[in-house]
Structure 1
Amino acid sequence: MHITIIMVVTYILSCLRIGAAPWHYWQMNARYFSTEHGIFSKLSIDSLIPDRWRLPQSIDSETLTPSTFPVFFKPEWGQNAHGIHRVDDYEQLISLRAALSNEPQRYLVQQAATGKREYEIFSIDANRTDGTHDVMTVTEAVNEREQFPINSKNNHHTQYVDITSQFSPEAQTTLANFLSQIGEFGICRMSARADSNEELVAGNFHVIEINLFLPMPINLLDKSFSWAERWRFIRSSMMSLARATKMIKPVENPQPIFARMMLYGRNSSLPGQSATSKSTHKIGERYIQP
């Protein structure tokens, strides 16, 4: 939590230093915000991913039976792996659906990625049209206890190791270009699985998730980092983020992204949906599109 506070304060001070409005941050990736559902929808963002990198994923329904296991149940929006469940067989599937039946969120079912290693690629791209990214880090989520882990900072079997230095400047540019093929993101963190660093750079990977709301640079969780190293990265990256914020073009009616994201899932129906809509059916309090 203290790292997050330091980052926020440093970002605000960086914005003030260069004359940027820090509250414009919420419009950083606004073009990818779902006004219909009031979230950065994982399903909508998934549709941006080229087929060769995309994992089979769909909205859950009672009629859906995965062709293979394990699969991951994921709320359509969430942070730090909150609400994600791994399902190893059909019996667990039925049990989990019963347990989630009163949840207001839509849940997605995602096929497990088979790559041997999990990577977190963090980027800040101020210009988004010049072909370069201002910040690019690659961090490996190391978990030797589980074959198909739900990695997060809350998983005590998971450790994060910054391996950016293992990639040449050319390789880092290649990874940045992969991100740009998916979207013009001002800030993002992409989770992907591949068999090796070389396979990752060769484009042989699958995307697990792309975080566009509050993507933390997960390399800061590398326990080998000294506080001096963390501080240097925070200062430089937050200044880059401030520059990206300053370059945001103002719009007449900006979306209340922060408020809508915070309210998501607290109502008995999804934002923008009616409980009597004929295009939905109800499982408990959860509305699912057929």
Structure 2
Amino acid sequence: MRLSTRGQVLPEVLARGTLAIEVIGATCVIGDRTLLADVDLSVRAGEVLALIGPNGAGKSTLLAAISGDRALRSGEVRIAGKRLHEWTLRELSRRRAVLPQENGVFFPFTVEQVVEMGRRPWQRTEREDEDTEAVADALRSTDIERFVERRVPTLSGGERARTALARVLAQRTGILLLDEPTAALDLKHQEAVLRLAAERADRGDAVIVVLHDLNLAAAYADTIAMLSQGRIVACGTPAEVLTAEQIGRVYEHPVEVFQHPTTGAPMIVPVREIRMSSREEGTP
């Protein structure tokens, strides 16, 4: 940690390869339901880690536990080597930025005002001087510059999702926690969001992203953790995790896995029944 010229303690930037997040024996129980069961996970600075798995596997719960938004029955989460509960909320807001699955903004804030909210953790620090640049960069990166004066409730679902992501990017922390950031987006913006995540990792950030699209995970993640029934059943490179046998077992649907001819990344195609047209079937 270092002291800024305005008297506020600011976090040091984590060196690439440094352990940014560590989850140790995380168990989360609500009522009689076990949402996470003895989960271990680690993420390093400079890495994109994708959490995948079927609905109800525990992906969002794990991300919420890492962010501090979900209490654990047992186990712990460490951010930059320090237990989660040892950070103040303000300190955490300077360490990690969180994009939740639900991004409802019902008050008539403009897009620019919402993105500017991402800069609040840096008020009265020397990094407050970055506010204008950080907001402009986030607006440009998410392709919403033309919406700055629009009221958020008037936007489409995809435009609201990109506004929420811009707020997170403007926060400029060394850790990004993104819960299904591509869910409401079209093809172009899905690719753009994952490309942004990869670029942030290339600059040294640690990124955890919850994804349903296995091909996006294969293309952009350095590491993939596959969850099923609250447990991590596989963790490794895309090629190690995304096998036809493993996907078929966890998702309960057969798939075929090919190697992309250019990138070498796995490509996942669900096995489907062939649908014959009436002409092919010989119907007049």
- TM-score between the two structures when normalised by the length of structure 1: 0.24
RCO higher in structure (CA 8 A, sep ≥6): 1
